[in-house]
Amino acid sequence: MTAPLPLAHLPTEAVEPKPARLPRDSKILFSLTALLMFCPLAFGAVEPWAIFILQAASALLFIIWAIGQLRSPQVSIQWSPLFAPALAFAGLMCVQLLRGVSAYRQATYSQLLLYVSYGIACFLLVQTLTRSREVRKVGKALTAYGAAIALFAVLQNLSSPNKLYWLRTPHGGWIYGPYVNHNHYAGLMEMLIPVPLVFAFSRFGSRRERWIAASIAAFMGATIFLSGSRGGMIAFAVEIAIFVAFIVREQQKQNVAILLSAFLLISLGVIAWTGGSEVKARIATLGGDKHSDLSANMREQIDRDILRMSRQRPLLGWGQGTFADVYPRFRSFYTDSLVNAAHNDFLQVLAETGILGFGILIWFLVRVLRPALRKSHKWPSNLNGAVSVAAILGISGILVHSLVDFNMQVPANAALFYSLCTVASMEPRFRTHRRSHRQLEAECFEESRESVNI
């Protein structure tokens, strides 16, 4: 007699193809995420010791990755469309190091080393961020981190607004959170808020998880207004407008209006509870106040001076990182404030790297946004789309803010910005694990019952 052979249970769901990778790749990814989280805590990584940690840690992670590749049977390197403009910009800075090109070669050399660390971080992201579960872990970590920073910022501002970590009193500035400059705190939040915000409107979690994410995003958004950063307020408003456009495009109607209304109400409630009058006064004025913040008129004068700078060296600019040294000879007004950076990152790129550098910047942004927009379709149920939408929102917010401030001159914010650009430009590589039919039926029933009760 013959008996049927026992067959192993076959999964009904599609199995995610796993690209070849080393066991230490996940550790490198999470270490890189921890490094990106460390930089804002170190006052934005603007001091020499923090910059050294950023550069040394990124170099060490690259060495570990390279050793692992050499020991593996086959070297595997993933390409990104951003590598070409990044290498072109690095080549431009190398040209500026030639004698007589940069106005201050040491400053340009220091900036080159810093941009190398950004490039290493982006390169390692492309090589190690390959699995859906890693995206979820990083997303949860960034959400918890953003909520913790926002809570810390509010508590510090209420109890000791003139001291960093309740201990250190900086010379000048407008403290908020771990930053001396409140605009840079707003820039950080602009890039972190889209992570919980997109999750809240997606279909990747339970109803309870999405409401928690929406509450966290609303609280983080409220702190932008509490920080007093007018550029941050405008950038956040632009982010919300772009996000609403994504929602409308996907024709999401079920409970979206309720969730969006709750998001706005929570934000307004936090603002009114902790500092509504100050926020109202800040929005109402475009001039300066008791804090050392440049007025709108002074920013316009700086912009005009920068255009005069760029006309003298239109092709290659004055040298990356030389603005603080060159600008005093072009300044057309008197001020007690130290103008060590242009309050417009785009114009500073034009002045320091010329038309060539500015052209590379536009090329870079096109290579970021084109694939990100292609992946953004069906983002509520597609993980690649959701990641792209979150990255697009963060990138858009910081770019709008960069028209009136200098977030890109702060290493912590610049490193996070380039990381978002890297993730946005990646080819689709994440699979969405489909939920069981029973889970979907239960959630739809619960949502419909709550809608009836409402």
323 to 172, 208, 289, 351: CA distances (angstroms)? 20, 49, 26, 8
Q: Lowest-pLDDT range, 85-89, 224-228, 255-259, 321-325?
A: 255-259
Q: What is the pLDDT of residues 387-420, one digit of tens each?
A: 999 999 999 999 999 999 999 999 999 999 999 9
pLDDT score at 192 = 98
Q: What is the pLDDT of residues 117-132, one digit of tens each?
A: 999 999 999 999 999 9
Q: Would the pLDDT of 11 be above 50? A: no
pLDDT score at 280 = 53
Mean pLDDT value of segment 354-371 = 97
Q: Lowest-pLDDT range, 14-18, 263-267, 344-348?
A: 14-18
Q: Would the pLDDT of 436 be above 50? A: no
The Cα–Cα gap between 192 and 189 comes to 5
Q: What is the pLDDT of residues 70-94, one digit of tens each?
A: 988 888 899 999 999 999 999 999 9
Q: In DSSP terms, which residues pair with 168 in a beta bridge?
A: 164
Query: Which of 2-11, 20-29, 276-285 ranks highest by mean pLDDT?
Result: 20-29
Exposed e or buried b per residue across 191-226, where buried means at least 16 C-beta atoms within 10 angstroms of its C-beta? bbbbbbbbbbbbbbeeeeebbbbbbbbbbbbbbbbb
Q: Which residues make Cβ contacts (< 8 Å) with residue 410, sequence separation at least 6?
A: 44, 45, 46, 179, 181, 184, 187
Please report which confidence band the pLDDT of residue 253 belongs to, taking 50, 70 and 90 as the band edges: low
Q: Would the pLDDT of 6 be above 70? A: no
**Token output for 138:** 């990083």
State whether residue 326 is helix, strand or coil.
helix
pLDDT score at 296 = 67
State whether residue 140 is helix, strand or coil.
helix
- Going by C-alpha positions, the residue among 384, 366, 383 that lies closest to residue 375 is 384
Please report which confidence band the pLDDT of residue 1 belongs to, taking 50, 70 and 90 as the band edges: very low
Mean pLDDT of the chain: 85
pLDDT score at 262 = 62
pLDDT score at 34 = 97
Mean pLDDT value of segment 50-67 = 96
Q: What is the pLDDT of residues 279-295, one digit of tens each?
A: 555 555 544 444 545 66
The model's pTM: 0.86
Q: What is the pLDDT of residues 440-453, one digit of tens each?
A: 445 544 544 544 44
pLDDT score at 186 = 96
The Cα–Cα gap between 264 and 243 comes to 13
Percent of the chain at pLDDT > 90 equals 64
Q: What is the pLDDT of residues 132-180, one digit of tens each?
A: 999 999 999 999 999 999 999 999 999 999 999 999 998 878 899 999 9
Q: What is the pLDDT of residues 184-225, one digit of tens each?
A: 999 999 999 999 999 998 989 888 998 899 889 989 999 999
Mean pLDDT value of segment 334-341 = 80
pLDDT score at 288 = 46
Q: Would the pLDDT of 7 be above 50? A: no
**Token output for 309:** 């700078």
Query: Which of 15-19, 291-295, 417-421, 436-440 ranks highest by mean pLDDT?
Result: 417-421
**Token output for 414:** 């610049």
